[in-house]
C-alpha cells in the first residue's frame, strides 16, 4: 500500500500526517508493506524541511518529521494507491491534476478515515501556517 499525504506547502500538515502514520506503521510492524510520502499542491516551500514549530510539537508526541518539501507530480497518481488531501481546496486541485477518472478516485480527504469525524460537516484539517 502506498499513501501520499498532501497539503498546500508540504511543510506542516502533510509532513505531520506522514510522520504520525509512519510512527503507527512502525509500531504495527508494517513498514515493509506500507510506503508513505507527502507533497504540496504549491511550490513555495520546495526543498524546505518541515516547519520548525510543527516539528517541535511532533517531537513532544514522539513523532519525527523528516524529508524536504516537494510539489505533487502527475506521476504520483500512478505511484500511490491513495492520495490523502488535508482539505477540500487541496482535494479540488488534486482532482484537477489527476490525468483521469481512476486517478481522481484515489483522492480522498484524510479525515474521511477518522472515526471521530463520521458526522462532521467539515472534514478539512485546518492550516496552522
- By annotation, the residues acting in catalysis are 7, 13, 127
Q: 3-class DSSP state for residue 39? A: strand
How far is the CA of 65 from the CAs of 55, 96, 99, in angstroms?
A: 6, 28, 30
Residues near 30 by beta carbon (within 8 Å), at least 6 away in sequence: none
Amino acid at each position: 500500500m502506498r499513501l501520499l499525504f498532501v497539503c498546500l506547502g508540504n511543510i506542516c500538515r502533510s509532513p505531520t500526517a506522514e510522520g504520525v502514520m509512519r510512527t503507527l506503521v512502525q509500531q504495527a510492524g508494517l513498514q515493509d508493506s506500507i510506503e508513505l510520502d507527502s507533497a504540496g499542491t504549491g511550490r513555495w516551500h520546495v526543498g524546505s524541511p518541515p516547519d520548525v514549530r510543527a516539528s517541535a510539537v511532533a517531537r513532544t508526541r514522539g513523532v519525527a518529521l523528516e524529508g524536504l518539501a516537494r510539489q505533487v507530480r502527475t506521476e504520483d497518481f500512478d505511484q500511490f494507491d491513495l492520495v490523502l488531501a488535508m482539505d477540500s481546496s487541496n482535494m479540488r486541485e488534486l482532482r484537477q491534476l489527476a490525468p483521469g477518472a481512476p486517478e481522481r478516485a484515489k483522492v480522498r480527504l484524510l479525515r474521511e478515515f477518522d472515526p471521530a469525524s463520521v458526522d462532521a460537516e467539515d472534514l478539512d484539517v485546518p492550516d496552522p501556517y
